[in-house]
Amino acid sequence: MRRYHRMGVALEMQVSGTDRRGVAFEEKTSSDDVSRGGCSFHTERELPTGTELELIILRRSAARRPPVPFLTTGVVVRSGNVDAKHFKVSVCFTGPQFPTYASESTA
């Protein structure tokens, strides 16, 4: 059972860290879903479970203002191949939690 409700939303994000081969990277992508405690996204990098990442998620704001960057850190809790060149990665935030717009349920 999940701790937080996931919202299927594509938010622009930047992910940086070190991939399975030990190569430092910085990649722009978008979220598949976001909750207070984590997110998932697609990447071309192979990121094993336990990989620590720095994340910048661009939160949409009201009244047509520019997106607001949300900075946090996270650890990969799940990673799997989508196809030969892409992976879907799920991250649990270890830094600040994402401020959501809907009520959360812990049940």
pLDDT tens digit sequence for 9-44: 899 999 999 999 999 999 999 999 999 999 999 999
In a domain, 1, yes or no: no
Measured between alpha carbons, how far is 5 from 62 in angstroms, rounded to an integer? 22
46 domain-assigned: yes
Q: What is the CATH number of the domain that holds 84?
A: 2.40.10.220
Give residue 38's domain range.
Answer: 12-93
Residue 82 lies inside a defined structural domain of this protein = yes
In this structure, is residue 102 part of a structural domain? no
Give domain status of residue 100, yes or no: no
Q: Quote the number of domains for the chain.
A: 1
Structure tokens at 59: 């939160």
pLDDT per position as a tens digit, 41-98: 999 999 999 999 999 999 877 777 888 899 999 999 999 999 989 999 999 999 999 8
Question: Is 4 contained in some domain?
Answer: no
What is each CA distance from 26 to 16, 53, 67, 73, 107, in whole angstroms? Answer: 4, 10, 20, 14, 35
Residue 104 lies in a domain: no
